[in-house]
Structure formats: structure tokens, C-alpha cells
Amino acid sequence: GKSLVVAIDGPSGSGKSSVSREVARRLRAAYLDTGAMYRAVTLHCMRTGIDLTDSPAVEAATRSIDLVISISPDRESVLIAGTDVTSAIREPEVSSAVSAVATTMGARAELIRRQRALIAGAAHRIVAEGRDITTVVAPDAEVRVLLTASEEARLRRRGDQLGGTQTAAQLKRQVTERDAKDSTAADFTQAADGVVTLDSSELDFEQTVAALLTIVRSVA
């Protein structure tokens, strides 16, 4: 049976994905990046000419997409109908369009259903991260954490992640504006009841991983 579900939410640039993946490695757990699923649906719609403002069409595409996502922290891979889109879903064009899928409620319902199935199907332990994992996807997880960071820290991290190629205005669009749009669909700006807040503004990567592992050990 499943021994442990660790649910982690947070805004973009909080370091959520890299920290969650490393925590999963240390716990010898599976790792589910739910944002990758929203990104994959977005890319699929863009590539097949589906209008992202057409909610019924986006919902239908989400229901029918052949999406395979690896839940191993050591093998990040996302396939759409067998095509590897692992890096394509990280392109800035996808980042700026993804909120359209996130705010399509029928698409969310379908992805939430698939995420719950992936979590239920994981053999042992799993770390799942996103925007609504602690509140909607896995509200009964043993460990629930909201990973936050100041806007300044988040803009800096996303800038570093993109190799310093983005202007300040581009970064602000990708981080702050995307969060504002996303938070209309899932509230990850404050911790729900029973969710532990971890502010990583003053912590480096290693310290954030250690702090998260301490939280896991204190409750699990």
C-alpha cells in the first residue's frame, strides 16, 4: 500500500519543481509535476490549431489527449501520442498561453482526475507538486506544504533558470502576470487549513530541500 503522499503547491519561480524533484529522490519517492500536464495540453492545442479561448474545444482536447508523463524523479519525460515534448512544453510561448487551459474548468476537472489516478497508482511514496495539490487533488495527503518566495526572489530565479536571456518586463510577464491569472482558478497565494508554509526567499536550493525534508519527517 501507499505509505506517503507529499503535496506541494506554490507560485512560479518558487523553486517548486527542482526542490520537489530532489525531495522525491531523497525519499526514494515517485514525482509528479502537474504543471507539465497543463503545459502539454496547451502545446497540443497550439500545435493542432485549437483556439485556447474556445473552452468546449479545450475541454474536449484535454479529455482525448494521449498524454504519458513519467513519475520518476530521475527521468523527466512527457509524451503526446508518443512524441517527446519534454523540452517543448518549457518554451516561453507555452508559458504565456498555459493559463488559458488552467482557467478552463472542464480541462482542470479532467487533469485533476488523471492526477489522482497517477497518485493512486504510484507504488509507494509520491511527491506531487502544482497549484491545487494541497487543496483539491490530494487534500488528504500526509504532508501538505505551500512553498512561497518573495516576488523579487521568484523573478531572479526564473531569470537564472532561463539563462539570463529575458528582459525584466518579459520575466514579470512570465512570473507575476501568469500567477495573477492562475490564481483565479486555484488559490495558491495563501496556505489552506493544515497546510504548512515554507518561505524560501532567504534559503538556497539545498537549504530549501533540507527544510522540506524536516517537515516531511515531522509529520510522516
Residue 121 annotated as part of some ligand binding site: no
Of positions 130, 174, 203, 208, contacts ligand C5P by CB under 6 A: 130
Q: Per CB under 6 A, does 102 bind ligand C5P?
A: yes
Residue 218 annotated as part of some ligand binding site: no
| Ranges within 138-167 binding ligand C5P (CB under 6 A) | none
Q: By CB neighbour count within 10 A (0-12 exposed, 13-18 middle, 19+ buried), where does 117 fall?
A: exposed
Q: Tell me, what amino acid is at 180? A: A
Nearest-approach distance from CB 34 to ligand C5P, in angstroms: 4
Residue 56 annotated as part of some ligand binding site: no
| Ranges within 182-201 binding ligand C5P (CB under 6 A) | 182, 185-186
Residue 10 annotated as part of some ligand binding site: yes
Of positions 7, 24, 32, 34, contacts ligand C5P by CB under 6 A: 34
**Which range in 69-77, 178-186, 189-197, 210-218 contacts ligand C5P by CB under 6 A?**
178-186
Q: Per CB under 6 A, does 98 bind ligand C5P?
A: yes
Q: How many residues bind ligand C5P (CB under 6 A)?
A: 16
Residue 159 annotated as part of some ligand binding site: no
Nearest-approach distance from CB 48 to ligand C5P, in angstroms: 19
**What does the chain look like in DSSP terms, one character per residue?**
---EEEEEE--TTSSHHHHHHHHHHHHT-EEEEHHHHHHHHHHHHHHHT--TT-HHHHHHHHHH--EEE--BTTB--EEETTEE-TTGGGSHHHHHHHHHHHT-HHHHHHHHHHHHHHHHH-SSEEEEEESSIIIII-TT-SEEEEEE--HHHHHHHHHHHTTT-S-HHHHHIIIIIHHHHHTTTS--SSPPTTPEEEE-TT--HHHHHHHHHHHHHHH-
- 36: which 3 cell numbers? 507539465
Nearest-approach distance from CB 219 to ligand C5P, in angstroms: 21
Residue 181 annotated as part of some ligand binding site: no
Rg (CA), the chain: 16
Of positions 8, 20, 29, 39, contacts ligand C5P by CB under 6 A: 39
Q: Known binding site for ATP: residues?
A: 10-18
Query: Can you give the binding site for ligand C5P, defined by CB under 6 A?
Result: 12, 34-35, 38-39, 98-99, 102, 130-133, 178, 182, 185-186
